[in-house]
Amino acid sequence: MAQDPFPKSLVRVSYVEGAWVSELRVVADADEEAVAEAEGFVAVTPVVGMPLPREFPKMLYHADIGQRIALTADEEAALQAVGGWSDVPVEAQPK
C-alpha cells in the first residue's frame, strides 16, 4: 500500500531587510500544495529519525549577575556549584 504524500512540508527562504527569513508551510492536499508553490514555496523531505536538539550550549540565569552561556556540562556544573544559577529565567532583584 502506497503511503499518502500528505501532509507535506514546504519551505520558502527570502532575504528581507538585510536578513534571511525562512518560512515553513505544511499542506494537507494537492490544492494547498499548488497554492504554496505559486507563492514560491518548495517541497522538502523531512529527515526521519533526526536527533533531538543538543543540550549545550545552554543559557543559564542568575538573579544578581544576569545570564551566561554554559558551553559544556562541566561548565554548567561549575556555575551551579557557585549557587544561584538556573536554566529557568529569573527576575533581577532590586538592590
C-beta neighbour count of 76 within 10 angstroms: 20
Tens digits of residue pLDDT in 26-63: 999 999 999 999 999 999 887 777 666 678 888 888 88
For residue 92, the model assigns a pLDDT of: 54
| Entry pTM | 0.47
**How far apart (Å, rounded) are the C-alpha atoms in residues 5 and 26?**
12
CA-nearest of 61, 55, 58 to 89 is 61
Q: Between 65 and 18, name the one with better pLDDT.
A: 18
